[in-house]
Amino acid sequence: MVMKWDNKRYYNLNYFLRQKFGEKVMKISLDAGFTCPNRDGTRSKGGCIFCSPRGSGDFTMEADDLSKQFDEAKAMMNKKWKNGKYIGYFQAYTNTYAPVEVLREKYYTILNKENVVGLAVATRPDCLPDDVLELLEELNDKTYLWVELGLQTIKEETAKLVNRGYPLETYVKAVEELKKRNINIVTHCILGLPGETKEDMIRTVDFVAHTKTQGIKLHLLHLMKDTPMVELYEEGKLRFMEKDEYVDLIVDCLERIPSHMVIHRLTGDGPRATLIGPRWSLNKWEVLNSIDDRLIERDTWQGKKFSL
């Protein structure tokens, strides 16, 4: 029997949020002015080699004031969707990397906004000290919350190459601590990292699929100007996947992800002006439609090949 979530063959975030809240829910990306221990010298300098100068917050509004950022993004979204609720997505840099009183003020600034029904906090597994975990637990009791952990890969050789700055066991420990507090977890994986084979990427997805976390992001590696990874590209050590190759890989991954795990992302793109490649990623809807078509062609769906 073919499994479907509305008109999709995977448990997509839009479907999940509509089921949970009964209406359209929009994610508003925010840059709260944080930095990262991989940039300020605590772990390293320069950040992960794929990370843009804006700390992966390239699509956040540029207003310095957090409240104004939210309001401007909301106004833009309201041109397309007149009604709905909102999730404040703390996206840029590391959003638990600050004194807890600073975090509290910023989180509640957004949580107290009208029609905000939840928060999403993107961070690193090595930036969850006890006082921050306590704050997240407090938030989790008040609203819908997920914490997004940037794992990217389970291959330690690749993690060192991209300057991730922590071992796999740190991710495992962070998952354990968040689970103790019943906090939802979304794991971020990058497909196409330098030197990784298809088998390497699928092993990472298989690992995450068995962590019993609530969500996963599968992100196409894209190369941005002014990132350290440009050097690898110029040396011929980075190959961009072709679109068809990527679509097939995504379908292979979806088959291995349990049917209860929410798919938060299946591709990735960057600002047109700073994206080096792959340029086909700019046609996001074309990529997503190709994934839908390939699932049908292969008569498959999320979880079809998952086993405990």
Residue 82 has pLDDT above 90, yes or no: no
- How far is 120 from 22, CA to CA, in rounded Å? 19
pLDDT tens string 204-245: 999 999 998 999 999 999 999 999 999 999 999 999 999 999
Residue, of 272 and 133, whose pLDDT is higher: 133
Question: What's the CA gap between 265 and 267, in Å, rounded?
Answer: 6
Residue 9 predicted with pLDDT over 70: yes
Q: According to the model, what pLDDT value does residue 57 have?
A: 53
pLDDT digit string (tens) for 83-118? Answer: 889 999 999 999 999 999 999 999 999 999 999 999
Judge whether 173 and 211 are in contact, CB under 8 Å: no
pLDDT at position 43, please? 86
pLDDT tier at 60, thresholds 50, 70, 90: low
Which structural domains are found in the chain, ordered by start?
Answer: 13-298 (3.20.20.70)
pLDDT band at 45 (very low <50, low <70, confident <90, very high): confident
Pick from 23-37, 176-190, 249-263: least confident: 23-37
pLDDT at 294: 98
The pLDDT of residue 63? 57
pLDDT score recorded for residue 81: 86
pLDDT above 90 coverage of the chain, percent: 82
Q: Which residue has the higher pLDDT, 280 or 47?
A: 280
Pick the range with the lowest mean pLDDT from 15-24, 78-87, 93-102, 172-181: 78-87
Buried b (16+ CB within 10 A) or exposed e, 12-51: bbebbbeeeeeebbbbbbbbbebebbbbeeebeeebbbbb
Give residue 173's pLDDT: 98
The per-residue pLDDT for range 140-165, each reduced to its tens digit, is 999 999 999 999 999 999 999 999 99
* pTM, to two decimals: 0.94
